Chain A
Amino acid sequence: MAKQVFQHTFDNGLTLIAENMPHVRSATINIIVPAGCAYDPANMPGISSVLSEIILRGAGKNNSKELSLAMDGIGLDRSCSAGTNHIRLWGATLSRNLPKTIDLFADIILKPHLPKSDIESVKLLAAQEIMSIEDDPKQKVMLALRKIHFPSPLGNDRRGTLEGLKAITHDALTKFWKKNFRPSGTIISVAGNIEWEPLKAQVEKLFGKWKGGDVPALKLSPGKGGTSHITKDTQQVQIGIAYPSVTYGHKDFYAAIGAVNVLSGGMSSRLFTEVREKRGLCYSVWASYQNFKEVASVICYAGTTTDMAQETLDVTLKQIGNLTKGIKEEEVKRLKIGLKSSMLIQEESSSARAGSIAVDWYYLGRVRPLEEIQKSIDSITTKSILAHVKEYNPKEFTIVTLGNKQLKYGK
Chain B
Amino acid sequence: MTFHQQQCSNGLTIIGEVIPEARSAAVGFFVRTGSRDETVEESGVSHFLEHMLFKGTKKRDAAQVNKDFDKIGANYNAFTSEENTVFYASTLPEYHQDATEILADILRPSLRSADFEMEKKVIIEEIGMYEDNPGWMVFDHARKLFFADHPLGNSVLGTTQSIIDLKRDQMLDYFQRRYIASNITLVASGNFNWDTFLKKAEKLTTNWKFGMARRDHIRQTSGSGEFKLLEKKTTTQQNVVMICPGPPAASPLRYAANLFAMILGDQSGSRLYWSLVDNGLAESADCSFHEYDGAGAFYTSFSCDPKQTHKNLEIVIKQIHELITKGITEEELEQAKSKVLSRIVRAGEKTMNRLQEVGMTWVYLRKYKSVDEDMQTYEKVNLRQIQQLIERYPLLRLTTTSMGPLAKLKMPEIPKQPKVPNAQHS
Task: Say yes or no for A106: interface residue by CB 8 A criterion.
Answer: no
Task: Say yes or no for B277: interface residue by CB 8 A criterion.
Answer: yes
Checking A94, A235, A236 against B342 with a beta-carbon cut-off of 8 angstroms, the contacting residue is: A94
Checking A123, A134, A235, A338 against B131 with a beta-carbon cut-off of 8 angstroms, the contacting residue is: A235
- Among B24, B73, B118, residue most surrounded by chain A Cβ atoms (within 10 Å): B73
Task: Say yes or no for B280: interface residue by CB 8 A criterion.
Answer: yes
Checking B121, B132, B349 against A236 with a beta-carbon cut-off of 8 angstroms, the contacting residue is: B132
Checking B126, B305, B345 against A283 with a beta-carbon cut-off of 8 angstroms, the contacting residue is: B126
> Contact string, A301-334, partner B, CB cutoff 8 A, digits 1/0?
0011100100000000000000000000010011
> Contact string, B277-312, partner A, CB cutoff 8 A, digits 1/0?
111111100000000000000000001110000000
CB neighbours of B422 from chain A (8 A): none
Task: Say yes or no for A195: interface residue by CB 8 A criterion.
Answer: no
Q: How far is the CA of A338 from the CA of B67 in the complex (A)?
A: 12
Contact between chains at A68 and B268 (CB < 8 Å): yes
Q: How far is the CA of A347 from the CA of B351 in the complex (A)?
A: 11
Q: How far is the CA of A113 from the CA of B283 in the complex (A)?
A: 22
CB neighbours of B118 from chain A (8 A): 277-280
A125 and B280 in contact, given A69-B269, A135-B135, A277-B62 (Cβ under 8 angstroms): yes
Contact between chains at A348 and B237 (CB < 8 Å): no
Contact between chains at A25 and B349 (CB < 8 Å): yes
User: Interface stretch among A8-16, A75-83, A143-151, A361-369?
Assistant: A75-83
> Contact string, B327-342, partner A, CB cutoff 8 A, digits 1/0?
0000000110011111
Contact between chains at B236 and A135 (CB < 8 Å): yes
Q: How far is the CA of A92 from the CA of B234 in the complex (A)?
A: 39
The total of Cβ contacts below 8 Å across the A-B interface reads 198
Task: Say yes or no for A268: interface residue by CB 8 A criterion.
Answer: yes
Contact between chains at A76 and B342 (CB < 8 Å): yes
Task: Say yes or no for A344: interface residue by CB 8 A criterion.
Answer: yes
Contact between chains at B132 and A234 (CB < 8 Å): yes
CB neighbours of B128 from chain A (8 A): 235-236, 283, 304-305
Q: How far is the CA of A72 from the CA of B122 in the complex (A)?
A: 43
Contact between chains at A124 and B237 (CB < 8 Å): no
In the assembled complex, how far is the CB of residue B421 from the closest CB belonging to chain A, in whole angstroms? 26
Name the interface residues of A327-371: CB closer than 8 Å to any CB of B.
330, 333-335, 337-342, 344-345, 347-351
In the assembled complex, how far is the CB of residue B95 from the closest CB belonging to chain A, in whole angstroms? 8
Binding site for A on B (CB under 8 A): 21-24, 54, 62-63, 66-67, 69-75, 90-92, 118-126, 128-129, 131-135, 234-237, 268-269, 274, 277-283, 303-305, 334-335, 338-343, 345-346, 349-351
Instruction: Give 9 A-B pairs besides A75-B339, A132-B236, A345-B23 with Cβ atoms closer than 8 angstroms.
Output: A26-B342, A71-B269, A92-B342, A121-B280, A134-B237, A267-B66, A278-B118, A334-B71, A342-B75
Can you list 23 A-B pairs with a CB-CB distance of less than 8 A?
A: A25-B349, A72-B338, A75-B339, A75-B341, A94-B342, A97-B342, A121-B278, A128-B237, A129-B283, A234-B132, A236-B125, A266-B69, A267-B66, A268-B70, A280-B122, A281-B125, A304-B125, A305-B125, A308-B125, A333-B71, A341-B74, A341-B75, A348-B349
